[in-house]
Structure 1
Amino acid sequence: MADSTQVFFLLGATLAAFVWGRFRYDLVALAALLASVLLGLVPAEEAFLGFGHPAVITVAAVLVLSRGFERSGLVDLIAEQALRVGDRLILQTLVLSGTVLVLSGVMNNVGALALMLPVALRLAREHDSPPSLLLMPLAFGSLLGGLTTLIGTPPNIIISAYRQSLGGEGFGMFAFFPVGASVALAGLAVIVLAGRFLVPQRAGKASLDAMFDTAHYLVELRVPEESKAVGWSLRDLLEAVEEPIPVLAVVRDEARYPGHAFLGTLRADDILLVEAGPDEMTLLEDKAGLTVGPEPTEEDEGTDAEPAAEEDKDKRSGVDTEGLQLVEAVVRNDSMMLHRTVGQLRLLNQFGLHLVAVARDGGRLNQRLRDISFRAGDVLLLQGGEGDIGESLATLGCLPLASRNLALGQPRRLLVSVAIFAAAILAMVLDWLPAAVALSAAALVSLLAGVLTLREAYQAIDGPVIVLLGAMIPVGQALETSGGADQIAEGLLALGSDWPVVMTLLALFAIGMLLSNVVNNAAAALLMAPIAASLARGFDASPDPFLMAVAISASCAFLTPIGHQSNTLVMGPGGYRFGDYWKLGLPLSLAVMAVAIPMILLVWPP
């Protein structure tokens, strides 16, 4: 079997695994790399050279610098201004989407979205409007902003490095700006003007306050003197009921102790604040002897206690939730929580977190917490210690959305962070240093200057993306060296032998855009770049317009929630369904294509 045929089979299986989504994309990419080595498509001694590729180093450095922006207090400044726009939806959409568009041009797309997502949710809450009207435009804005600079999105970095591998120079820092900015502005106009008509309005149930109206799910349970729970620790209690029921607080002698930090044993007349439904309350009563409500008074004696208990079950909204240290977070695509349960993760023991509730598709899940297998986009209500909950969320791969009585991160040296980044950009623009070197140096100086800690820097580096890039770069090269890319290009040229270059660019752009909606955008760029170069050779034209078409199209995943992390992250908080994205995404994709192709031909003629 010819090498090119083997490459096609391997890439077909890899793409199928990406779309299936059962295994995380970094594992699929690593499996594809090892398979290509075993098939002889990639020499064994070159198998891991991709991990030292300049594109991989550049992406890692950008991720570190992005985290520095997040920790520098930038979000506070942005939020202060964004929250002043008033209650007009069109202005809210313009300010939020425009801001995230600018931010994602100089930092990681997901990082920019992470900064603005809590702001959008707070704005929706303050004006009592559905967050669904703001979150999808926000996610799409983060994708559009990445088109404007070299470091805005991994496909741009990959295409620049590939251009350099062809014997030329890589694209400069602002080489993408004329085309990218035109496309971004056109896309922003579509989002602002048409978004309110095309984005589904998930009123009520998509609101985080509605999903997690904690007071309506909390109940006070008393430990009577004759209760079996007297002398038990909270761990003993949960083992007895065989259910991870969150005990959010223990009240004793007018003092309140957070449940995740309570290490003592229960005493008679302790009050437990428990997140429990009727089934869980029955378990606690039968297996631990807990009773609903405070200790009966003398006035209550001689009355029928059963109806009173039932009445208390229906009046749980009066429970005081002040100071419970609750935080809402969404599960990322690369989270270690995916396809695992609370018990498998050992959330309380390993991370000091109580899982209080889970919402999916805009509504709270009513099944038992221990049975829930987490998915990307799930919204979690968690309780944990104020000092380390941010670190725990970062380790788990969760993005904090909004908090109650909890500050995640503190402002740090904004001016220092901006100055370091500006110096790196200047070195790149003046051609003093390659992008990988300049940005790595900036990341190192940020660490030395205390903009962020070493632990935060390592946590900022998106391991799955780094593995994906390092593994797929040799596989993409195998597509070229085996002749597979030339065969695909020849097929396209044969189909459109009488077409002008613009029609071929349109076809290439459409294929890249469709591919990016089902696989990671970096993988789409890595696979499409050799085909674009082969097409350019077939036309005996400059590769620049073809490579630029791949760069733009690979970053325009507007049709599905799985094409980009930004889309997935807003799915839960916005209450969106899979089929909601194309309603705004299709007009946006057509507008992007209509603007991108003429601008590419104008700025980068064949």
Structure 2
Amino acid sequence: MQSDQLIVFAVLAATLGLFVWNRWRYDIVALGALLVVTLAGIVPPEQAFMGLGHPAVITVAAVLVLSRGLLNSGVVDSLARHLTKVGDKPWVQVLTLTAIVALCSGFMNNVGALALFMPVAVWMSRQSGRSPSYLLMPLAFGSLLGGTLTLIGTPPNIIIAGYRREVGEAPFRMFEFLPVGLAITAAGVLLITVLWRLIPRRENQGSDQELFEISAYLTELKVPAQSKYTRRTLHELIAAGGDEAEVMVIALVREGHYQAMPSIYEVLRDEDVLLVEADSDSLKRFLDVTHLELAAEADSKAEAREKAEQEKQAEKNGDTLAQPDANESKTDRHKERALAEAIVTPGSSLIGTTATGLSLRERYGMNVLAVARQGQRLRQRLGKIRFAAGDILLLQAREDQLPSTLSNLGCLPLASRGLRITAPRQVLLASSIFAVALALIAVGVMPAAIALVGAALAMILVGLVPTGDIYKSIDMSIIVLIAAMLPIGEALETTGGSRLIADALLEIGQSAPPAATVAILMAGVMLLSNVVNNAAAAVLAAPVAISLSRGMEASADPLLMAVAIGASCAFLTPIGHQSNTLVMAPGGYRFGDYWRLGLPLSALVVLVAVPVILWVWPL
């Protein structure tokens, strides 16, 4: 048994190290760890994948589908629309945004709630002339606090509810998390409102509305008469420029008609005008190779010739020439471009690839015009940039296709995202289905997994979640992580590893009151969740909490609740939770910025949560 303990501790140490290193995705690391303990004979092979059928895994998947249904119906959009009217005072904006995202996070996926309100926060910041950094970090922290309100608010709550069975009790119900969750959420939102000035101000993305100054990179080129590229495709023209002349064709103007994002197989004609995006060096090389003309120069020459001919004709006829509006066609050309900013999420298919490698133009009809990373525009060639989580992309696409394309690529729209015009019937239908599920769980008629799967199925049947979006709604990396870590957590218990850790905690807390032991456990799990996924932290800490309760000869409820709160409150680093990661680039934050507000917020959570936990669930 001692050798099994050593193997489990070694695997856990390696797993945590790989989580922190972040070189491989956490679900891949968790699967590798599961494979090792199974091959070592610690987890029986027939039980290795039993986690996929665990109620916690099913519940998390159902909640993700329900979140998509709530977003599609416009339930949360209707709330977001009213936030644009709260005024310009920074503390009012911080308070309102943080509170509303916390409320939404209690009933839907944290990242989904954050994704909806991020564009609102960026828009409000730009309208007020302040940095988005003042609003985005409070928004992320609010989504974490709100997740503690209910059973379905965050995966750690769902996991901990299931672990309660191991001490012979029924799982925690829907609103049993509410007393402590409401206390820390209210206190946390007030603290954030008071201390928002601790958040670093990042001017590079704050008052500056033009993170991407693309106007200096847009140029109109004309295909001259008798060009060798006449009657050849746009693809051949671009290929002729070579890798050294990177030019992005934004639009084609032909005989006064503007065509956004023309097909790369469009056959060119004489006098075609191409709107291209390129830096000065690339543009010069492209012109040298293709012998296209700058449209302004070509037009001025043509206009001069045409004007001279018209004047000669007018002299013969005795007519007076009317002056044309030279800016009309140019305005019409530019006003139809659909540009949008979007952020690459941690689960995006873009990560590690390039725009060229994914053939974004050919497959999705989308141009990547610019890329920013950590608040700075990347100046290297676009075709060579490998996208990373948190990158902000300036995109051009057809407006009607933009939402679905971003969803398929795993990107979230930023300030250019428009709020949908919602149908009251859909809002009412989605709210009713969700409310019925919550009521069934709250009164104990159905287990959470059954009620939530039923609600998800109902939303699918009434069309709130299209069948094509069902599995896109489910973050499989989270599902695999939880399913793989559950057997490892059980192995920690069966080998006596959790008991060993619990004994160490008991020795530390021997000379201290029981409340101190609860606080130490919560703080330890909180620190762990800042470097590993919160679901993994909950799975690893829950067996320790149960062993600790047995050693203290006390109820496991307060210790399990301490684990749930600690695992959900990762405020110190950008890697502790996806919400923190997502706001890093739009806010221009650095790794060390989070602790400034996160440290006092973490301390407040422990100080508020421990007394409330011990009052509601005595030891």
Per the TM superposition, whether the score is higher than 0.5 is yes
Shift of 1:300: 8.2
1:473 aligns to what?
Answer: 486
TM-score of the superposed pair, with normalisation by structure 2: 0.91
Query: What residue is the counterpart of 1:312 in the other structure?
Result: none
Q: Is the 8 A contact 1:506 1:597 kept in 2?
A: yes
> Which whole-Å CA distance do the structure 1 matches of 2:174 and 2:390 have between them?
33
Read off the aligned partner of 2:232 and give its amino acid letter: W
Residues 1:324 and 2:326 aligned together: no
Alpha carbons of structure 1 residues 229 and 580: separation in structure 2 relative to 1, 3 Å: farther
CA contact (8 A) 2:224 2:293 kept: yes
Counterpart in 2 of 1:375? 388
Matches of 1:29 and 1:584, distance apart in 2? 31
- How far the C-alpha of 1:290 sits from its partner, in A, is 2.7
Q: State the distance in 2 between where 1:233 and 1:41 align.
A: 62
Maintained 8 Å contact 2:235/2:264: no
**What corresponds to 1:392 in structure 2?**
405
| Preserved CA contact (<8 Å) 1:183 1:596 | yes
Match of 1:84, SS state, is: coil
Matches within 5 A, 1:219-258: 219-225=219-225, 227-243=227-243, 245-258=247-260
- What is the correspondence of 1:417-428 to structure 2 with a 5 Å cutoff? 417-428=430-441
Distance 1:271 1:480, change over 3 A: same
Answer yes or no: is 1:277 the counterpart of 2:270: no
> What CA distance in whole angstroms lies between the structure 1 residues aligned with 2:420 and 2:270?
36
Superposed CA offset, 1:180-201 (max 9, x none): 1000011101111111x11111
Q: Assess, with a 3 A threshold, how the Cα gap between structure 1 residues 77 and 562 changes in structure 2: closer, same or farther.
A: same
Rg larger in 1 or in 2? 2
Alpha-carbon shift at residue 576 of structure 1 (Å): 1.1
Aligned to 1:131: 132
Stretch deviating more after TM superposition (162-171 or 57-66): 162-171
Cα distance in structure 2, aligned partners of 1:324 and 1:410: 25
Q: Partner residue of 1:341?
A: 354
SS of aligned partner of 2:583: helix
Tell me, in whole angstroms, the C-alpha distance in 1 between the residues paired with 2:228 and 2:587. 44
Q: Distance in 2 between matches of 1:583 and 1:227?
A: 61
Q: Deviations over 1:76-119 (max 9, x none)?
A: 42233111111111111111111101100111001111111111
Q: Is the CA contact (8 Å cut-off) linking 1:220 and 1:274 kept in structure 2?
A: yes
Q: For residue 438 of structure 1, what is the aligned residue in structure 2? A: 451
For residue 599 of structure 1, the aligned residue among 612, 615, 618 is 612
- Separation (CA, whole Å) in 1 of partners of 2:615 and 2:378: 52
Structure 2 contact 130–206 (Cα < 8 Å) conserved: no
| Cα separation, partners in 2 of 1:486 and 1:326, compared to 1, 3 Å | same
Aligned: 1:453 with 2:502? no
Distance 1:392 1:31 in 2: 32
- 1:476–1:539 CA distance, 2 compared to 1 (3 A): same
1:20 maps to: 21
1:311 corresponding residue in structure 2: none
Partners of 2:354 and 2:384 within 8 A in 1:
yes
1:509–1:553 contact (8 Å) kept in structure 2: yes
C-alpha displacement at 1:394, in angstroms? Answer: 1.7
- Hey, what does 2:366 align to over in structure 1? 353
Q: Which stretch of structure 1 is more off in the superposition, 30-39 or 238-247?
A: 238-247
Give the total of aligned pairs: 590
In the aligned structure 1, how far is the partner of 2:292 from the partner of 2:331? 19
Indicate conservation of the 8 Å contact 1:260/1:383, yes or no.
no
Gaps of 5+ in 2: 306-329
Q: CA deviation at 1:286?
A: 2.5
Task: Tell me the distance in 1 between the aligned counterparts of 2:238 and 2:532.
Answer: 41
8 A contact 2:261–2:365 mirrored in 1:
no
Contact 1:545 1:604 in 2 (8 A): yes
Which residue of structure 2 lines up, in the alignment, with residue 310 of structure 1?
Answer: none
Q: 2:414 aligns with which of 401, 417, 422?
A: 401
TM-aligned CA distance change 1:227 to 1:14, over 3 Å: farther
Matched-pair contact (CA < 8 Å) for 1:260–1:352: no
What is the CA-CA distance between 1:227 and the residue it aligns to? 4.1
Moved more, 342-351 or 452-461: 342-351
Shift of 1:318: 8.8
Secondary structure of 1:202's counterpart equals coil
Shift of 1:299: 7.9
Rate the CA distance shift 1:165–1:349 in 2: closer, same or farther, 3 A: farther
Measured in 2, the distance between the counterparts of 1:273 and 1:130 equals 32
Contact 1:105 1:148 in 2 (8 A): yes
What is the aligned partner in structure 2 of residue 292 from structure 1? 294
The match for 2:572 is: 559
Conserved? CA contact 1:258–1:324, under 8 Å? yes
In the aligned structure 2, how far is the partner of 1:410 from the partner of 1:235?
Answer: 41
CA spacing shift, 1:135–1:535, aligned 2, 3 Å: same
Q: Which residue of 2 aligns with 1:101?
A: 102
Deviations along 1:153-211, one digit per CA (max 9) or x if unpaired, are: 0000000011123321111100000001000011101111111x111111243467321
Identify the residue that residue 314 of structure 1 maps to in structure 2: none
Contact 1:220/1:319 (8 A) holds in 2: no
**Is the alpha carbon distance of 1:228 and 1:513 closer, same or farther for their aligned partners in structure 2, counting shifts above 3 Å?**
farther
Q: How far apart, in 2, do the equivalents of 1:319 and 1:40 lie?
A: 70
Tell me the distance in 1 between the aligned counterparts of 2:341 and 2:420: 11
Q: Does 1:203 find its partner at 2:203?
A: yes
Secondary structure of 1:324's aligned partner: coil
Instruction: Check if 1:174 corresponds to 2:154.
Output: no
- Deviation per residue, 1:333-365 (Å, 9 max, x gap): 111222222233222233322111111111211
CA-CA distance at 1:237 after TM superposition: 3.1
User: Could you tell me how far 1:53 is from its partner in structure 2?
Assistant: 0.5
**Equivalent residue letter for 2:237:** L
Matching of residue 484 in structure 1 with residue 518 in structure 2: no
Shift of the 526–470 alpha-carbon distance from structure 1 to 2, 3 Å rule, reads: same
Identical aligned residues as a percent: 50
Q: Secondary structure at the match of 1:267?
A: coil
Shift of 1:289: 2.4
Evaluate the alpha carbon distance shift between residue 358 and residue 484 of structure 1 in structure 2; reply closer, same or farther with a 3 A threshold.
Answer: same
Q: 2:257 and 2:213 mapped to 1: Cα distance?
A: 24
- Secondary structure of the 2:388 match is coil
